[in-house]
A and B are shown apart, each in its own frame.
Chain A
Amino acid sequence: DQQVKQNSPSLSVQEGRISILNCDYTNSMFDYFLWYKKYPAEGPTFLISISSIKDKNEDGRFTVFLNKSAKHLSLHIVPSQPGDSAVYFCAASAGPGFQKLVFGTGTRLLVSP
C-alpha cells in the first residue's frame, strides 16, 4: 500500500519556466513533509520541508505547498535551471517521535536549455 504517491514518473520543462512536482498521501497521521533531490550515483539530498501547521514554505527558487484537506503537496521550482534535472522524491513522517520517512516513488525532472 503506497501511502505516498508521485503519479508522474517524469516531467520535462524548459529552462526559465516553472516546474511543478506533485505528491499525494493517504495517511492522515503524516504531519511533516519533505522533498529530496537525487542525482545518479549519489544519495538523496534534502531540499525543503514543511510542517502540517503551515501551508507554504519557501526557500529561494523552491516553494512547497501543502493542502491538508486534499492530502496533497507540491514543489514549485521557479525559474527552473538545467542543473535541477534530477529525480525528486517527496517524503512524509508521522510524529512526534523518531524519524521514519515514507517516500514516494520519485519524479524525474528534465530541464532543457
Chain B
Amino acid sequence: KAGVTQTPRYLIKTRGQQVTLSCSPISGHRSVSWYQQTPGQGLQFLFEYFSETQRNKGNFPGRFSGRQFSNSRSEMNVSTLELGDSALYLCASSRAGGQEETQYFGPGTRLLVL
C-alpha cells in the first residue's frame, strides 16, 4: 500500500508570496492532519481535516489555511509568507482520526522563505 505522499518536496519562496502544499493520504484514510516542524519548536499541530471539514485547529494565524477534497487529498495554503514560516511541513493520515489510531506521516515539504 502506498504511503502518504507530499508535493512538492522542496520549495523556495520570498516574503509576501503565498504557497500551496499538497498531501495525498494513504488509500482509505479520511483524516489528514498538518504539522509544522521548526528546530526550536518541534512539531506543532496546524489543523486536521475529515470528510472535507476542518475538525480541529492549532494556534496558528489565519494566514495558514487548508482544505480537503472528496478524495481525501488535502492542501495547505500559507499567504503573505514571512521568514519565520521557513519550516518542514508534514502531513499525516489515519482512517478516521480517532485518538488511538496511528497517524502515518509523509516525508514533508521543506519550505524556505527568503
The answer to whether A46 and B104 touch across the interface, beta carbons within 8 angstroms, is yes
If over half of B's interface residues share one DSSP class (helix, strand or loop), that class is named, otherwise mixed; here it is strand
Question: Which residues of chain A in 3-56 are interfacial with respect to chain B, using CB atoms and an 8 Å cutoff?
Answer: 32, 36, 41-46, 49, 51
CA distance A106 to B90 in the complex (A): 15
The answer to whether B103 and A99 touch across the interface, beta carbons within 8 angstroms, is yes
The answer to whether A99 and B42 touch across the interface, beta carbons within 8 angstroms, is no
Bitwise, B97-110 to A at CB < 8 A (1) or not (0) is 11111111111100
19 CB contacts below 8 A, A to B, read A43-B90, A43-B105, A49-B100, A49-B102, A93-B99, A95-B99, A98-B98, A98-B99, A99-B31, A99-B33, A99-B97, A99-B98, A100-B33, A100-B45, A100-B58, A101-B33, A103-B44, A105-B41, A106-B42
Q: Which residues of A contact B (CB under 8 A)?
A: 32, 36, 41-46, 49, 51, 89, 91, 93, 95-106
Q: Which residues of B contact A (CB under 8 A)?
A: 4, 31, 33, 35, 40-45, 48, 50, 55-56, 58, 90, 92, 94, 97-108
Of all A-B residue pairs in the complex, the 10 with the closest CB atoms, nearest first, are A43-B105, A95-B99, A105-B42, A103-B43, A46-B102, A98-B56, A44-B105, A99-B97, A103-B42, A100-B56
